[in-house]
Amino acid sequence: MPRYKLTIEYDGAPYFGWQRQPNRPSVQATLEQAVLKFCSEEVTVRGAGRTDAGVHALGQIAHLDLSEPHSTDTVRDALNFHLKREQIAILGVDLVGDDFDARFSATKRHYLYRIQSRRARSILKEGRVWWVPKQLDADAMHVAAQLLVGHHDFTTFRATKCQAKSPVKTLDKIDVRPEGLEIHIRVSAKSFLHNQIRSFAGSLRLVGEGAWTADDLQAALDEKNRRACGPVAPPWGLYLQGVDYTRPDQD
């Protein structure tokens, strides 16, 4: 039974997240319906990251098994044909071994959070960035963000309904850089807690506008208490940018 790796781009706005849900549109269920229309097979499409409602993807990775072999171009083009009315596109398809698992084989996940920092609200980027009508200090945000790098108990930056067994995670990298009128927060780690990145973004905004200092962010981290977190940033500024795997043919 051949296994296919999918690289997927989507606009998260029309969907209630990646994961299949009863009576609500999801990215996973929409992809599974496209596969059914393509080859009449009921499959489970397994993703590398369970993005929340409204969160976008530039490079989500998923895998699926089909009973009959097809060329990778055929799988890509057929799925895109059946997705043409959806806000989902298959960027690439690769044939991988049975040991590949989009979620459990991943060694690192990369996310991008986009903030538009200007007085006028965003029109052309509405639903794509978090509009903040203040000038933010990206340098101060970046310096403070480095306090989050490393192995920590991130209870403060974890959703109360997070299902992870432990709040302890290792954050490999976080960069905050100005990009024109936007500020981009790029974050990398093997895995994340529920709402962790959006919690980072909301707290770093407080640093950028001068309401918090780096010491305040450190104190919030040390508090290990959800109530110490800044306001959680909205989902529409968040993008799953890419996923790394150990083997070159899985990357």
Residue 129 is predicted with a pLDDT of 97
* Judgement on whether residues 163 and 55 belong to the same structural domain of the protein: no
Vertex 78: Cα angle to 72 and 80 (nearest 5): 105
Q: At 60, which CATH number?
A: 3.30.70.580
Catalytic residue selected from 52, 137, 222, 249: 52
Flag residues of the chain having pLDDT under 70. 247-251
* Judgement on whether residues 97 and 112 belong to the same structural domain of the protein: no
Domain end marker among 104, 122, 155: 104
* Judgement on whether residues 95 and 126 belong to the same structural domain of the protein: no
Q: 71 burial class (0-12, 13-18, 19+ CB within 10 angstroms)? A: exposed
Domain end marker among 104, 131, 160: 104
* Judgement on whether residues 114 and 221 belong to the same structural domain of the protein: yes
**153 classed as catalytic:** no
Residue 247 is predicted with a pLDDT of 64
Residue 161 is predicted with a pLDDT of 87
Residue 181 is predicted with a pLDDT of 87
- Rounded Cα distance between 164 and 117, Å, is 33
In 46-167, the DSSP E strands lie at 46-47, 56-65, 88-96, 106-117, 130-132, 150-153
Sign of the C-alpha dihedral computed for residues 232, 235, 239 and 240 taken in this order: positive
* Judgement on whether residues 118 and 197 belong to the same structural domain of the protein: yes
Residue 163 is predicted with a pLDDT of 86
Distances (CA, A) of 22 to 16, 25, 26, 110, 113: 10, 8, 9, 29, 29
Domain that holds residue 71: 3-104
* Judgement on whether residues 164 and 201 belong to the same structural domain of the protein: yes
Asked if residue 218 is part of any domain, the answer here is: yes
Residue 246 is predicted with a pLDDT of 84
Asked if residue 150 is part of any domain, the answer here is: yes
Residue 152: strand pairing partners: 169
CB atoms inside a 10 Å sphere around CB 139: 12
